[in-house]
């Protein structure tokens, strides 16, 4: 039963997996008086709240991808800096995964090296560029689908 006179201050909203909220009135304070089945109202879910949940999840996925990419590039910079063996499994994996993302930045700056250690400045620039790119993507998603 839907009662438009019930305000949010008068009810407790219980979320369910389906698209409706089950609204319960607060328990009476007087002893001996119990709630009846007439005290439960069904109110359609607020579409804005559902959209905000989906928007938050999309933004979380965007930032998860951004953080994983940033960490992989950071590992690459560190491995190059300590002159890690590129034939080792982990180093080979990190180099292979990050290579396509760093290709647009290849040759952007000189790469200083000493005793086998290499400082990939272009990778650090790529980290900044990808952070800005993911921030822009998250902003546009909020702008388009947000309220």
In tens, the pLDDT along 2-27 reads 555 555 555 554 454 554 555 555 55
| pTM of this structure | 0.65
Q: Assign 145 a pLDDT band (cuts: 50, 70, 90).
A: confident
CB 131 within 8 A of CB 67: no
The residue ranges of every structural domain in the chain are: 8-45, 50-145
pLDDT at 65: 97
Given a cut of 70, is residue 99 above it in pLDDT?
yes
Q: Assign 123 a pLDDT band (cuts: 50, 70, 90).
A: very high
C-alpha angle 78-82-86 in degrees, rounded to nearest 5: 85
- The two most distant CA atoms of the chain are separated, in Å, by 85
**CA distances from residue 21 to 14, 71, 93, 102 in whole angstroms, order as listed:** 6, 40, 47, 48
């Amino acid at each position: 039963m839907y009662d438009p006179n019930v305000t949010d201050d008068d009810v407790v909203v219980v979320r369910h997996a389906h698209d409706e909220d089950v609204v319960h009135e607060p328990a009476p304070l007087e002893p001996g008086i119990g709630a009846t089945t007439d005290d439960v109202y069904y109110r359609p879910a607020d579409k804005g709240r559902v959209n905000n949940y989906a928007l938050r999840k999309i933004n979380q996925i965007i930032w998860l991808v951004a953080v994983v990419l940033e960490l992989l590039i950071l590992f690459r910079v560190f491995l190059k800096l300590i002159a890690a063996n590129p034939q080792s499994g982990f180093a080979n994996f990190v180099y292979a995964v990050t290579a396509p993302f760093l290709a647009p930045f290849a040759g952007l700056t000189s790469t200083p090296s000493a005793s086998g250690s290499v400082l990939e400045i272009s990778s650090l620039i790529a980290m900044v560029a990808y952070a800005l790119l993911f921030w822009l993507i998250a902003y546009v998603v909020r702008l388009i689908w947000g309220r």
